[in-house]
Amino acid sequence: MNLRCPDCGRVNNIPANAGNIQFRCYNCGALLPQNNPPSADTSEAVGLIGGAVLGGAIGGPVGAIVGAIIGAVLGRETKGAA
Ligand SMILES: [Zn+2]
């Protein structure tokens, strides 16, 4: 699997069966994110909740609904990028 370095953006090729070992970026040595990406369902749920909270802060019930939709889309895109 590939992990993108949060520091320099270099994509590091990490063995998928490495378990919970934390790797460092080959390029700059920064710690890479843990090798256990959240499931699709989790990321979508987080997007829904986050979007609803954000929307609620902006525009009441209607904003919460719009925010939830945006959050679901963001959650899907996060899954796709990982
Ligand atoms: Zn790096």
Tokens 């378990």 locate to 19
For residue 25, the CA-to-ligand 1 centroid distance in Å is 5
* pLDDT at residue 33, rounded to an integer: 77
* pLDDT at residue 74, rounded to an integer: 83
Contact at 8 Å (CB) between 34 and 3? no
Q: Which residues of the chain have pLDDT under 70?
A: 18, 34-44, 51-52, 54-58, 80-82
For residue 51, the CA-to-ligand 1 centroid distance in Å is 30
Give 3's strand partners: 12
* pLDDT at residue 81, rounded to an integer: 57
The amino acid occupying position 18 is: A
For residue 24, the CA-to-ligand 1 centroid distance in Å is 8
List, in order, residues 6 or more apart from 29 with CB less than 8 Å away: none
